[in-house]
Amino acid sequence: MPIDPNYRTNRKVVSEQNGIKIYEPYNPPKQLGIWGTIVGVDFDLCIADGSCINACPVNVFQWLDTPGHPASEKKAFPINEQACIFCMACVNVCPVAAIDVKPP
């Protein structure tokens, strides 16, 4: 199942890290929800493939350690989502369709 494209309106913001919003469900370490608003990554789907990190021309992502998460123990954190140029490379390469990008 891919990331919910309507999460920005369907889900509550429950936390924030480095200015990046975290959308429910958030029960760490096993449930981490969706991180980011311009560039959203469903951390519960992310398997730490890393293709998005390699594909992004403007370095939106950086690895974040998430020990104890069942899908992977690190995630592609969209810490620089403000830099996104909407090329959609990350969306297209993600093997588990964990990323949704929407201009503000």
- Chain contacts with ligand SF4 (rule: CB under 6 A): 39, 55-58, 60, 84-90, 101
29 within 8 A of 73, measured Cβ to Cβ: no
The CB-of-51 to ligand SF4 minimum distance in angstroms stands at 10
Judged by CB, which is closer to ligand SF4: 28, or 53?
Answer: 53
The rounded distance, in Å, linking the Cα atoms of 64 and 67 is 10
The CB-of-78 to ligand SF4 minimum distance in angstroms stands at 6
Judged by CB, which is closer to ligand SF4: 44, or 81?
Answer: 81
As annotated, the binding site for [3Fe-4S] cluster includes 46, 52, 94
